[in-house]
Amino acid sequence: MKPIKDKAEVSIDFPDKFYIGSFTRQSKFEARSEDDGLLIKLKNDSEPERAVAIHLHHHLLADILSEWAESLADDPIHDNDHRKTLIGALKKLQKEIAKR
């Protein structure tokens, strides 16, 4: 697992319970390709320990990225550092997907 450079927040809302957790620089993450999608794991070893995993199938992941792109027209990323990091990661993703 790799250290988280920024942060992530996760919430799950059930009819009778609500869970929320933050994963910051003291936390770690893993992201890897599986047969039919992307597996993301977040883990915080400090007290209280927290872990979450989510699996997104390829079509759902594509829909999420597309919808996020559309939303950037209304709420653009103003921070140049975040923008450069995202562009670099997306170029790397495009290169790896194009190989197949």
pLDDT digits (tens, 9 = 90+) for 19-60: 999 999 899 999 999 989 999 999 998 888 899 999 999 999
The pTM of the whole model exceeds 0.95: no
Provide φ and ψ at 4, rounded to 5°: -80, 125
- CA 99 → CA 3, 8, 71, 92, distances in Å? 28, 30, 29, 11
Whether residue 92 is predicted with pLDDT greater than 90 in this model: the reply is yes
Domain layout of the chain by residue ranges: 2-99
